[in-house]
Structure 1
């Protein structure tokens, strides 16, 4: 063991000088390569800078030559010196240029540049498939009658004319068209007999109105959205005004009102007959808010239940003809949602004025379900449109007592 180790050590001692020489040669060669790389890189960098400098000089010379050429062929333009201009008429030229490129910002009114009416925005937009929109700003004159016309008098708007239908479903048949036009001179349109200094909206009450759903979706909701921006200061101009929109008083009357009042007073109520507002709606709403019970035949008048105080009672008299579901949907369910107590009194055939018109053997009296199946026309015309009621006070008294119980 000892001899073998000595032999290995001697062999290692003999090979160490050769290894040292190889290491020295490697270090020398590496140093030479690094030095060569640095020299080449430095030379290449200087070359790029020189090329770039020459390129900039050439570009500058070319630019100067172009500017000199332009100076001989184009008129001089003013140059800034600090915050001033050398040209005395620069402001006038700048203002004229701005007027030439000015765009109209007044919808339907054109632009302040009277000589540039070609860039004015149109008064009407009829590109929508369901409805037309017109907006007239300024001296606007409306004329009713068979040929309803709305005219904008303005020298800023070019003469033009549109035929529109102011209804949310303009594609329906039977709608009345309104002519909207612009004229430059006041003498081109008749003078107004009534003048108002507030916005006006033109609407149509044709189409599918007369149906509660369409009354809201087609007219009232669009009208509310359009008039909202005027904060209540708006005049409504109605095309083909239907009587039932402003006169709910021709149908579903209580024919024996004095007897019903007497029965209510006998039950313990102080009765006040509230008709149309005599002074103002503010006073009317305050009066309604003082009531404990509101009694009325199914119809638009019951909408005033929104002014009743929480916990009050709405007693709805439902006309004959299986109208309970309609009455409940229109006023019964909303009344409960508003925190009111709801009572429903359904009129019997003997209490309906239709009994005297058709007789008890007629389907209108004998079979209301068949009338409903025949279509909405007969229901709307007779059950809702041409029916009054004569209340049987003895039959009605339990409903009055129920209302009184709700308040105790």
Structure 2
């Protein structure tokens, strides 16, 4: 962990000045982004029902016309076949409301579903594939969201628990083990990603790698002179 932090933490005085004014900027309508070279991300508002054991995401539709399904793999290294072989495939399926499975539990807060498979536990990939994309995706929600983790790698969770708890104040759900249907009104599938070990501050939510470094320093109560 120390070498990863030293790789990313700089010395300057930096403020996290680009907090989102509202999460509605992110999830005010269904959004499908499959054009990003690193990750596929689906952000949906509506009636969303998740059955973890079958890796199925049901999305309510008002009409039987145009119903379709597709698969997503929520890990931000989609062009790397070696990494993606270690990531579970999820089926997203539109379904008319009367044919949806019943909700066993309904959550009032948004969820982010992502995988800790792939190349997790490699320090470089921990940051490039997971921690930086997770910060980019989750930070605008100001801790009011649930993490649904597929391909749960418990040593990774334990190692980075301080970061996860700083991004969400709720318990993590190991979604693969859930045989009941859990429901949400807002859900993000996959993690947003920019360049390797970097953030594009010109794109919403306008975070920079400096903001991320400051977030790490604050999370671990680190001295600014850690690199000296």
Q: TM-score, normalised by structure 2?
A: 0.53
Alignment partner of 1:182 is 2:89:
no
Greater helix share, structure number? 1
Larger RCO: 1 or 2 (CA < 8 Å, sep 6+): 2
Give the aligned partner of residue 29 of structure 2. Answer: 107
1-side partners of 2:154 and 2:67: how far apart? 36
1-side partners of 2:88 and 2:149: how far apart? 11
Give the aligned partner of residue 136 of structure 2. Answer: 225
**Offset from partner CA, 1:274-319 (integer Å, 9 cap, x none):** xxx9xxx9xxxxxxxxxxxxxxxxxxxxx998337x6xxxxxxxxx
Q: TM-score, normalised by structure 1?
A: 0.31
Q: Which has the larger radius of gyration?
A: 1
Alignment partner of 1:244 is 2:151:
no
SS of 1:241's equivalent in the other structure is coil
Give the aligned partner of residue 220 of structure 2. Answer: 306
Alignment equivalent of 2:58, drawn from 139, 143, 151: 151
Task: Tell me: CA distance 1:159–1:125, structure 2 relative to 1, closer, same or farther (3 Å).
Answer: farther
2-side partners of 1:148 and 1:306: how far apart? 34
Greater strand share, structure number? 2
Give the aligned partner of residue 32 of structure 2. Answer: 124
Task: Tell me: CA distance 1:191–1:210, structure 2 relative to 1, closer, same or farther (3 Å).
Answer: same
2-side partners of 1:221 and 1:305: how far apart? 14
Deviation at 1:203, TM superposition (A): 0.4
Task: Tell me: CA distance 1:198–1:243, structure 2 relative to 1, closer, same or farther (3 Å).
Answer: same
Gaps of 5+ in 2: 1-26, 160-164, 170-216
1:334-349 matches, cutoff 5 A: 336-337=225-226
1-side partners of 2:48 and 2:117: how far apart? 24
Task: Tell me: CA distance 1:233–1:158, structure 2 relative to 1, closer, same or farther (3 Å).
Answer: farther
Tell me, yes or no, if the aligned pair for 1:155 and 1:184 is still in contact at 8 Å. yes
1-side partners of 2:143 and 2:66: how far apart? 32
Tell me, yes or no, if the aligned pair for 1:137 and 1:152 is still in contact at 8 Å. no
Give the total of aligned pairs. 142
Tell me, yes or no, if the aligned pair for 1:158 and 1:184 is still in contact at 8 Å. no
2-side partners of 1:164 and 1:132: how far apart? 7
